Amino acid sequence: MMERVVIVGTGLIGASVGLALRRAGFAGTLIGIDMNAEEAAEAKRMGAVDRIVAPATGERALEVCATADVVVLAVPVMAIMGWIDKLAPVLAPQTLVTDAGSTKLAIWKLARASFLGVGRARFLPGHPMAGKESGGAGLAEAKLFDGAMWLFTPLDEALTELEVEWRAWVTKFGCRTMDLDAARHDRICAWVSHLPQMVATAMAALYEDEFAREPGMADDFRAIGGRALREMTRLGASPYTMWRDVAQTNTEPIAATIFALEQRLAHLRENLKTPGLREEFVKANRFRRER
Amino acid sequence: MMERVVIVGTGLIGASVGLALRRAGFAGTLIGIDMNAEEAAEAKRMGAVDRIVAPATGERALEVCATADVVVLAVPVMAIMGWIDKLAPVLAPQTLVTDAGSTKLAIWKLARASFLGVGRARFLPGHPMAGKESGGAGLAEAKLFDGAMWLFTPLDEALTELEVEWRAWVTKFGCRTMDLDAARHDRICAWVSHLPQMVATAMAALYEDEFAREPGMADDFRAIGGRALREMTRLGASPYTMWRDVAQTNTEPIAATIFALEQRLAHLRENLKTPGLREEFVKANRFRRER
């Protein structure tokens, strides 16, 4: 039975997990660990966790994790990998560790090497397809995952009781769930999540430079730009710290999607006055109709 | 005094102009002209126009326009240019013609040649920065322009009484207005409107091809893709017929913005693992903060 949950990283995702657990009826203990004492205090103030350990100093944090039934790692991918290294030797075998990292293959490989084996805790790699362009506990919501997809890339097929229970809580958050291969996860997420992010960042950075080029341009651009401009650059507000780790751990698939889009844009640019433009619009229309 | 308005093109924009005029208190006559009898009938049914002339056959349509105080051309850019050619010789000098075309330089040049001069009607090039990814009278709204920017690229500085009145109605729609040079209009709109459209079209067309590549991929992509995917491809639903004319009449500025983005994406792709990625995120963050 899951009675004691430690959430490592009480930012947007971690604090939302705490709030979602409470909303779904979880009556056990929630403990938050964060490097940032203010984030942790905010998460506690919101009721996302009952107690906090912050700033998270090594020894104390590991001791607290060792008391948990479930440890939820809700920090950027490289930090998750750091926690896997530290937690694997100290957790009891009945513990379940799960995570909310945006890429899964690097985590899956490391967790397989660190956790698979007799006497080791269980690790269930996970990834909620939810978030906001800005982070922080202050933006956390009990309903953040409602209607979202929560992906899992399991290390093996057998399920422990605690894994079954954790998956049931995720379903109670309002999530659909899907199990898939970690490499396939990263390839699909490069298309549906990482490419949109990189395009929004590139566009926002391009506009930032372009607006500075002529006096008065910035004001006119902003006055004239409407929903299309806002929408296509919304993700430009996303934090580097999180996306650096995504780029580090999913470099090849992301580079492939960006390159494919560069070629597509060049094709469209070269066909602004030819029937090739029509073909692109027809295909794009079809994509939107089928959603 | 504006008492009789003829709206040429009773699709999304034209029908919304009719509804917005009524909402703002216009008590005169509204006549709709459309090539598509169904679109025109829908606009009449919604109360966007009182009477319709459809399908718009040449002679009859011109006769009706000749009875108007104000003619609003709310069709794609190339069609607007066709109407300028036909209307200039037949309208009385006290008539005001205005338009809602997405590009302005080609229209401005043609209107200057056709309308400027003794005995000719007035032409005020205009462009409401409002719309939806799908067209049609059925989606028209009295509030479509509420809070939007309505741009003008006047042929000369002097204003007739009817121009002053038309601008006042536009303000009553809830619009801010701005006058600017037609070439500058097209250059700014290439950045804030046409580039977002072309990127969304390229992304949606790319996904449409990519999804078909492996069995089962389409379902997984759609199940996993969330707000980012939807948002970055929303404009992929936009109709080719309208955008063909935008591409035809603003080719060089659009090509320049697409090329700039291609280069930016290549830079980002080559720097997925370097501090260059950080610089792009910092710039993009700054762009979003300053909005």
pLDDT per position as a tens digit, B59-100: 889 999 999 999 999 999 999 999 999 999 999 999 999 999
Question: What residues 56-85 of chain B have any CB closer than 8 A to a CB of chain A?
Answer: none
State the count of interchain CB pairs (< 8 A) between A and B: 281
For residue B59, the tally of other CB atoms under 10 A from its CB is: 7
Q: What is the pLDDT of residue B86?
A: 95
Distance CA B153, CA A194 (A): 40
Percent of chain A surpassing pLDDT 90: 85
Q: Which one of B181, B207, B235, B242 would you mutate to disrupt binding with A, by most A Cβ within 10 Å of its Cβ?
A: B207
Q: Any idea which residue has 């997984």 for tokens?
A: B220
- Show the domains of chain A with their CATH numbers: 4-180 (3.40.50.720), 184-289 (1.10.3660.10)
Distance CA A124, CA A155 (A): 7
Which chain A positions have a beta carbon within 8 Å of B224's beta carbon? 129, 149, 151, 178, 188-189, 192
Q: Which residue of B has its CA nearest to A268?
A: B202
Q: Which residue of B has its CA nearest to A254?
A: B269
Q: What is the pLDDT of residue B211?
A: 86
Q: Which residues contact B260 (CB under 8 A, 6 or more apart)?
A: A206, A210
Which chain B positions have a beta carbon within 8 Å of A208's beta carbon? 283-284, 286-287
Q: What is the pLDDT of residue B291?
A: 58
Q: Which residues contact A89 (CB under 8 A, 6 or more apart)?
A: none
Q: Is B117 left (phi over 0), alpha (psi -120 to 50) or beta?
A: left
Block mean pLDDT (10 aa), chain A, length 291: 96 97 98 93 96 80 95 97 96 97 98 92 96 86 96 92 97 97 96 97 96 82 89 95 96 98 98 98 93 57
Q: Which residues contact B82 (CB under 8 A, 6 or more apart)?
A: none
Contact B77, B101 (CB under 8 A): yes
Partner-chain contact B265 A258, CB within 8 Å? yes
Interface pTM, i.e. ipTM: 0.92
Q: What is the pLDDT of residue A220?
A: 87
pLDDT per position as a tens digit, B245-266: 999 999 999 999 999 999 999 9
Q: Which residues contact A24 (CB under 8 A, 6 or more apart)?
A: A169, A172, A173
Which chain A positions have a beta carbon within 8 Å of B151's beta carbon? 224
Q: Is A117 left (phi over 0), alpha (psi -120 to 50) or beta?
A: left
Which residue type does B283 have?
K
Partner-chain contact A240 B286, CB within 8 Å? no
Q: What is the pLDDT of residue A281?
A: 98
Work out whether strand A126-128 and strand A149-152 pair parallel, antiparallel, or are unpaired.
antiparallel
Question: What residues 130-169 of chain A have any CB closer than 8 A to a CB of chain B?
Answer: 130, 133, 148-149, 151
The alpha carbon of B287 is separated from its chain's Cα centroid by a whole number of angstroms, namely 25
Partner-chain contact A221 B191, CB within 8 Å? yes
Partner-chain contact A204 B260, CB within 8 Å? no
Q: What is the pLDDT of residue A291?
A: 57
Q: Select from A244, A207, A194, A16 the least CA-distant residue to B289.
A: A207
**In sequence order, what DSSP letters do the residues of A52-85 get, joined into one string?**
EE-S--HHHHHHHHHT-SEEEE-S-HHHHHHHHH
Q: Select from A1, A21, A2 the least CA-distant residue to A10.
A: A21
Dihedral (CA of B229, B234, B240, B243) sign? negative
Distances (CA, A) of A41 to A3, A48, A74, A210: 22, 10, 16, 40
Pick from B208, B223, B240: CB nearest A287: B208
Which of helix, strand or coil describes residue A127? strand
Q: Which residue of B has its CA nearest to A276?
A: B244
Dihedral (CA of A128, A132, A137, A142) sign? negative
Pick from B184, B251, B265: CB nearest A202: B265
CB-based contact, A256 to chain B, within 8 Å: no
B224-250 burial code (b ≥16 CB/10 A, e <16): bbbbbbebbbbbbbbbbebbbbbbbbb
Both tokens of A157, joined, read 């097929």
Partner-chain contact B261 A203, CB within 8 Å? yes
Pick from A180, A184, A199: CB nearest B199: A199
State which residues of chain B have pLDDT below 70: 57, 291
Q: Which residue of A has its CA nearest to B265?
A: A202
Distance CA A231, CA B236 (A): 13
Which of helix, strand or coil describes residue A237? helix
Partner-chain contact A231 B228, CB within 8 Å? no
Q: What is the pLDDT of residue A157?
A: 81
